[in-house]
Structure 1
């Protein structure tokens, strides 16, 4: 960034013949960049440049072309390079530079030629610039492993060439191999202790992969020191280095202090740069400093009045401060110019926030939020995993969107058998993308846990929360949600423990109604109804319980008391009074709730609770009348209809009216989700033919939903129409839309004893290039396990063992990846790994290969130490081999986990008999 120093150094070499042309170009560029350009000097240099160009030799032409290429002046660079190639008679250097020009110009016809030129140049021997170009060619083609092979070749031939190590590190990350990436970063730092790319990579690894904020912060501090030493005047670099960290740190104040320092340094070096001022505004938003953010966005607008990003930032601040009219006017203005600037995800998001704050219809808000996600993910297409990807993914922004979606989801988990809100599925898929890329982002893991909890997947919620709390034991919100999870599992002791832990880390949580709500629900479960009533009455008297916008301060951040939490306290109190035999008090609280929440989206939860109260008092007719009055445009309409249907089926045994509730739902709110509910309703009342018809309609609306296609197949099987089920599965698989149905088809064929056809289906499903996606690996494991079952039934035991061995190898990869990418899947995947090993052991026992059998039963127990079947079989094998001590030990372990296990008791009796010498 020091223009004067660069001019001084360029002046000292401008008379050197081989670099004279490019030096003059650089001097002209530098003069134009300086605050007060010397126009006479520029004119003189320009004249000399035109003169020297006529007689320039090949080296001078080469360096001039190289300089222009770095400047982005591709056409001008091409003129010099072509001339240089003519002068040198097709020299290698010119050919390589021409290839680089072709590769980076963005034109497909040129890119194809680049590889040919690189290969031609490499026929004359290894050239680092040509090899690097060839690696870049493979990278452009997204063949990262091909690029990595070339880079390894460079390192083998030029072991001290630092750029090759940097390229290798980035390619390993593009291949999603963090371990190798970090190993290369360490090697780089041994050769170059202040290497900025390697220090940044280590910091990103601590932050994104490990979620270790303190280590990431320390490395970020080292990065700033290295920048100060190496690039003290490079404003662009200071700003660039901050971006990925600020967007992936989950708003950690520790990290944001560093990123703010970096951007502030950039602005101090170039205080006329509107982009740096805009970024400082965003840094303030991330820290919750809205007034300061607004100040910076206004500074940016002063520096560049056409800055769309600065104006967007101002609108964001206005929305946070509740200045809705101003925000709306500015958004309308931006909308008009959006045609010329292209679609922006952030702009759509601000429209959605405005629509929510103005209480627009849910459908309108959802359409806007869906649009935000489509636009956002479209901008990521084709980007490999890397620093740029972290910036563009902007997990912080995605979590904001998810929180908006969740505000429309039911506050309580779906009850067993009830289909969860489709919004939850949508949220889960976005969050899984975030966690797969940034597994260290605890807020994302926490939100997955919340989504899983609300979807009724309690085990998955538990796994994710356990991961969060292992890394951050003081995460109060996670303890609070964990308490709810334990409550759902009827584990009141652990629930109370979680509440105490939550309180010990954040004493102000006592001001939050959710804390008292969970405590009361625990007391209710333990039969302490009077205590629960006292707890809930205390919650009702909390400051802000009657003010929707209230929040209570805690450790510098606010705990928001939203309407759904407030209404939950009222409804839980109604239920507690009812259980305590106090119908009059319950009715009074319901009336209070009606008055409190009338005209709000939560009003319908009160109506549904009122209907429950009427049912409890035996007034089914009144309950139905209340629920009938709920209209489709109101939130909770689906829940009201489900409740009505439930009443008809349970209390009136009226199947026709039960199904009619769901038909009405489809008529009023036609969607794949409501059709799915209707189909499930028909299956509930044993009418699979009607269910199939409805599922097929749903599939047309949502052809990519795997559960729908599977439900159709299962409904056909229920009607015993096996041939039609087989035809359906085969057609779906043939069309290539529903490959996952291969498993269902093969399983059906196996049940019908059509083993050869089942084997053929699975062999076709497994006939593909090696896969790296976690979901594809899991799918292949399921195929191999089922194939092994089929081979067993065909009595092809060797083939069965081969399939199981392949399944075991794949499952090893799945477990390694799931620990990081899909935590909630780990328990089930460990269970599957144990079953695969136990199955191999079973076959080994049948073949009298006892050593192998013991080895695999032991491995099964490593994956799942409570696998009683494996323990028992291991005990029997030890007994068969006369290893009495090992057998005894295994039986003790088994009886510890299952005291009444008859088989273990029998084996122990046999041991006693043997020991007594009978």
Structure 2
């Protein structure tokens, strides 16, 4: 009785599972049916398999694996549990275990079609072992023909997953079932994927003869028209006809065609987003399997992504749907290098260079022959970081691995950037012209372009800028006109209008620039930049501060929020209207009182406007509510400037005493602690407490060394990737700002040690700084001066020689070298150094005095600098005297009182 009940519950569960595909049942209810069946009979194999199916739908792989492993042990005589286990492992994408299970099934059942199918998926999607996959596909097709000759659905599913080697199998099936339009349509799509448009056209026409209402066949005809002739009036008429057919509105292929023939980027992006959203929702509830891959349709989605890349604009807020699609594609087909490359490219466009480099590293490490497109993208990132020499090396490696890369517009674009950096403008113009010609040739022939909309606009921008640099303004104007026409209706049109405005300003056409900037709409990505530029033009060229302020008041009217009020406040500060600026900052604070950046800005504004007591009260009040460490630092600095040293020192000491032990190794806190100790040292020094000041600064130095070490350690799983990215790009793994902080502390320690007559200790401080930054000119100059003061002339001379090797124009080192030669009675060498100094810097009076002294001592006073040199010296100094006497003027041109 229990066994019968278990079977009934199992049957109920499978029926509910079937209904689940139409969305009529939740997975939880189905799972309860199988669970109840297993309670009646724990050995019920059908119930165990049904239970694991429910776990798969819930993506609970651990529970599914646990249940099916028990069945594998209980039923060693059948492969059914093993096949279900294989299904679970594939859904989990546990590739190694899946291969092992395939081999285990093959040892007892070598002709099992499902196991063979899974093995093919692993070969193609995970390993990208296409040559081995071709041989296995042929064997698989032979098995299908011998074991399932009349199974039309299996033939269609096989053709969908195994594209290139199934045409013969489909042709045989079409001959057998000549009245099946679905088979003929599939054969047509297969021909399209193989690039045989005419063959595909013939198949789709045959399918329409069998079934005149076949939407897939009619869509196939439209796709053939698109492939052959691009966007034509005939194709647009076909699309209008298709839209009237039942179910056509929901067709993703039709959305794709409509995106291809759209007149504007916004319209195209709307269709492409619809495809992405629908596709993501379709695969969301399907466990990874052959059915998942059929539903995902990686080839089609790659075409969608490529089309999207033609319209995406340079924005970090690009739609998440396309990014998610690429992430799904890369996860579903790890061996699909094209998807990984497109993901890297999208990450680059969004400004995430670290993730882009990680994707490129993964791509280049998994491919035997480096992809030229990936190398080009790496070169693009290098140029963005101004590593032009590295970019040139990457381009050379790219050409050596694939000479056809010269047909890629991006290659010529990057070459132009490298040439432009070396002031080789003629070659840069030639390369940019070639790049745009290649883009236009492909566009005119209806081929998929290798460049995104952003890159195409960037080519125009660079070409126009380079032409302006060499003075070819008329040619630049023509190119600008072409760019405006070509990019009209795209997100990049505003970028070109912004460039046009700058071009108008160069030609002194101020009104034209203002008009162009006014054409940029609030919906454009660079609207804020354009509006700010318009304000600057009105202020700089028209001297109209009211029109300048009105631009920022427009921001507040269009988007009344904290950011808009802050921008308006900054504008008021610029035109010397501090009270209005403070009012704007206060409004911004009311809307976002907990924003630390905003509270900090308000405090600084009060200090800048000399409302010192008001600033102190403001800081105290905000610190009570927020306990913000940054504000305490600012208040302490304000007390120092007000010469209230005791109050400033007390704030900093309390902050250091209240250190949270859990934050002791936190990188952000360590950086903040360095600033606390440095400011504390300044306050103690100004209050006359040199001993404590020196101790605080030593603590700051030790803490900054900890910061430097922490920078090289992996933190939260991200610093290691960032470090690898920096090293790949040729940067140090410690930011320059942190190194500069160490240098500044070393210089200050040396200065304080010298003030206490402890010169040897000062030397040690300078050397400690040089260990961190061996090329620091400021440290070497300070050390050389100290050696000179200590009369260590040889050490001073060596240090100055090192400085001049790195900076031949360094005045201080040159003076010291000449002075050392003078002290050593080496007048010839001293004469050489002082003569060079006076020639390069005629207004260096000290050098001139020493030069005259040497000439007098050597009896060559007649060789004193000529009258003409003195005249040039006088001419250089007179303008400065006049400038220093000029009275300051206000923003309106009236003299300041």
Answer yes or no: same fold by TM over 0.5: yes
Matched, 1:459 2:349: no
Distance in 2, matches of 1:428 and 1:514, equals 22
Partner of 1:314: 221
Partner of 2:310: 407
2:318 match: secondary structure: helix
Distance in 2, matches of 1:683 and 1:466, equals 45
Alignment of 1:352-363 (within 5 A): 352-354=259-261, 356=262, 359-360=263-264, 362-363=265-266
Distance in 1, matches of 2:585 and 2:155, equals 61
User: Given that residues 688 and 715 in structure 1 are in contact (C-alpha distance below 8 angstroms), is that contact kept between their aligned partners in structure 2?
Assistant: no
Distance in 1, matches of 2:597 and 2:771, equals 43
Partner of 1:835: 715
Distance in 2, matches of 1:692 and 1:451, equals 40
Question: Which residue, out of 478, 496, 506, partners 1:591?
Answer: 478
Distance in 2, matches of 1:623 and 1:750, equals 44
User: Given that residues 375 and 398 in structure 2 are in contact (C-alpha distance below 8 angstroms), is that contact kept between their aligned partners in structure 1?
Assistant: yes
User: Given that residues 231 and 260 in structure 2 are in contact (C-alpha distance below 8 angstroms), is that contact kept between their aligned partners in structure 1?
Assistant: no
User: Given that residues 565 and 584 in structure 2 are in contact (C-alpha distance below 8 angstroms), is that contact kept between their aligned partners in structure 1?
Assistant: yes
1:422 match: secondary structure: coil
Structure 1: gaps (5+ residues): 1-84, 246-255, 415-419, 552-556, 698-708, 722-746, 755-789, 801-829, 840-860, 870-893, 903-918
Matched, 1:435 2:322: no
- Of 95-104 and 441-450, more deviation after overlay is shown by 95-104
User: Given that residues 513 and 569 in structure 1 are in contact (C-alpha distance below 8 angstroms), is that contact kept between their aligned partners in structure 2?
Assistant: no
User: Given that residues 549 and 561 in structure 1 are in contact (C-alpha distance below 8 angstroms), is that contact kept between their aligned partners in structure 2?
Assistant: no
> For residues 855-899 of structure 1, what are the alpha-carbon distances to aligned partners after superposition, in whole Å with 9 as ceiling and x for unaligned?
xxxxxx9xxx98789xxxxxxxxxxxxxxxxxxxxxxxx999976
> For residues 412-452 of structure 1, what are the alpha-carbon distances to aligned partners after superposition, in whole Å with 9 as ceiling and x for unaligned?
xx5xxxxx263365533432333233332222222222222
Partner of 2:153: 236
How many residue pairs get matched? 633
Q: Tell me the CA shift for residue 684 of structure 1.
A: 7.2
Question: Which residue, out of 156, 168, 176, partners 2:73?
Answer: 156
Matched, 1:422 2:325: no
Matched, 1:575 2:465: yes
Matched, 1:371 2:371: no
Alignment of 1:777-816 (within 5 A): 794-795=660-661
User: Given that residues 64 and 88 in structure 2 are in contact (C-alpha distance below 8 angstroms), is that contact kept between their aligned partners in structure 1?
Assistant: yes
Question: Which residue, out of 374, 382, 387, partners 2:290?
Answer: 387
Partner of 1:724: none
User: Given that residues 689 and 715 in structure 1 are in contact (C-alpha distance below 8 angstroms), is that contact kept between their aligned partners in structure 2?
Assistant: no
Residues 464 and 101 (structure 1), Cα distance of their counterparts in 2 relative to 1, 3 Å cut: closer
> For residues 462-518 of structure 1, what are the alpha-carbon distances to aligned partners after superposition, in whole Å with 9 as ceiling and x for unaligned?
332333333343423223222222211222233223323333444344344433232
Question: Which residue, out of 289, 292, 297, partners 2:199?
Answer: 292
Alignment of 1:810-825 (within 5 A): none
Partner of 2:104: 187
Partner of 1:220: 137
Partner of 1:915: none
Question: Which residue, out of 415, 440, 465, partners 1:519?
Answer: 415
1:126 match: secondary structure: coil
Structure 2: gaps (5+ residues): 574-580, 604-624, 633-655, 667-709, 720-726, 736-768, 780-897
Distance in 1, matches of 2:599 and 2:361, equals 39
User: Given that residues 347 and 355 in structure 2 are in contact (C-alpha distance below 8 angstroms), is that contact kept between their aligned partners in structure 1?
Assistant: yes
Alignment of 1:235-314 (within 5 A): 235-245=152-162, 256-314=163-221
> For residues 623-679 of structure 1, what are the alpha-carbon distances to aligned partners after superposition, in whole Å with 9 as ceiling and x for unaligned?
3343335567999777754654675689889998678657758988x8xxx989858
1:380 match: secondary structure: helix
> For residues 535-571 of structure 1, what are the alpha-carbon distances to aligned partners after superposition, in whole Å with 9 as ceiling and x for unaligned?
446667x5785895158xxxxx876689876765554
- Of 433-442 and 306-315, more deviation after overlay is shown by 433-442
Residues 117 and 383 (structure 1), Cα distance of their counterparts in 2 relative to 1, 3 Å cut: closer
Partner of 1:820: none
Distance in 1, matches of 2:595 and 2:278, equals 35
Partner of 1:6: none
Distance in 2, matches of 1:259 and 1:693, equals 68
User: Given that residues 224 and 262 in structure 1 are in contact (C-alpha distance below 8 angstroms), is that contact kept between their aligned partners in structure 2?
Assistant: yes
Q: Tell me the CA shift for residue 145 of structure 1.
A: 3.1
Distance in 2, matches of 1:680 and 1:432, equals 37
User: Given that residues 502 and 509 in structure 1 are in contact (C-alpha distance below 8 angstroms), is that contact kept between their aligned partners in structure 2?
Assistant: yes
Question: Which residue, out of 233, 242, 255, partners 1:334?
Answer: 242
2:52 match: secondary structure: helix
Q: Tell me the CA shift for residue 522 of structure 1.
A: 0.3
> For residues 316-361 of structure 1, what are the alpha-carbon distances to aligned partners after superposition, in whole Å with 9 as ceiling and x for unaligned?
22333346444334433433344x677233333333333x2xx24x
User: Given that residues 345 and 373 in structure 1 are in contact (C-alpha distance below 8 angstroms), is that contact kept between their aligned partners in structure 2?
Assistant: no
2:283 match: secondary structure: coil
Q: Tell me the CA shift for residue 264 of structure 1.
A: 3.6
Question: Which residue, out of 141, 145, 154, partners 2:62?
Answer: 145
TM-score norm. by structure 2 comes to: 0.59
Residues 407 and 449 (structure 1), Cα distance of their counterparts in 2 relative to 1, 3 Å cut: same
Alignment of 1:414-813 (within 5 A): 420=315, 422-423=317-318, 427-472=322-367, 473-536=369-432, 549-550=444-445, 569=459, 571-580=461-470, 582=471, 585-594=472-481, 598=485, 601=488, 607-616=497-506, 622-629=512-519, 640-641=530-531, 643-644=533-534, 661=551, 681=567, 713=595, 718=600, 794-795=660-661
Matched, 1:200 2:117: yes
Q: Tell me the CA shift for residue 157 of structure 1.
A: 0.7
2:120 match: secondary structure: helix
Distance in 2, matches of 1:226 and 1:450, equals 41
User: Given that residues 474 and 505 in structure 1 are in contact (C-alpha distance below 8 angstroms), is that contact kept between their aligned partners in structure 2?
Assistant: yes
Residues 236 and 537 (structure 1), Cα distance of their counterparts in 2 relative to 1, 3 Å cut: closer
Residues 97 and 627 (structure 1), Cα distance of their counterparts in 2 relative to 1, 3 Å cut: closer
Distance in 2, matches of 1:235 and 1:364, equals 39
User: Given that residues 521 and 527 in structure 2 are in contact (C-alpha distance below 8 angstroms), is that contact kept between their aligned partners in structure 1?
Assistant: yes
Q: Tell me the CA shift for residue 240 of structure 1.
A: 0.9
Distance in 2, matches of 1:558 and 1:239, equals 28
User: Given that residues 9 and 36 in structure 2 are in contact (C-alpha distance below 8 angstroms), is that contact kept between their aligned partners in structure 1?
Assistant: no
Partner of 2:848: none
Distance in 2, matches of 1:271 and 1:692, equals 78
Residues 868 and 591 (structure 1), Cα distance of their counterparts in 2 relative to 1, 3 Å cut: closer
Partner of 1:52: none
User: Given that residues 611 and 624 in structure 1 are in contact (C-alpha distance below 8 angstroms), is that contact kept between their aligned partners in structure 2?
Assistant: yes
Q: Tell me the CA shift for residue 274 of structure 1.
A: 1.5
User: Given that residues 145 and 175 in structure 1 are in contact (C-alpha distance below 8 angstroms), is that contact kept between their aligned partners in structure 2?
Assistant: no
- Of 627-636 and 432-441, more deviation after overlay is shown by 627-636
Q: Tell me the CA shift for residue 900 of structure 1.
A: 7.4
Q: Tell me the CA shift for residue 155 of structure 1.
A: 0.4
Distance in 2, matches of 1:94 and 1:142, equals 26
> For residues 217-244 of structure 1, what are the alpha-carbon distances to aligned partners after superposition, in whole Å with 9 as ceiling and x for unaligned?
4443443344345434434323212323
User: Given that residues 121 and 130 in structure 1 are in contact (C-alpha distance below 8 angstroms), is that contact kept between their aligned partners in structure 2?
Assistant: yes
Distance in 2, matches of 1:264 and 1:691, equals 74
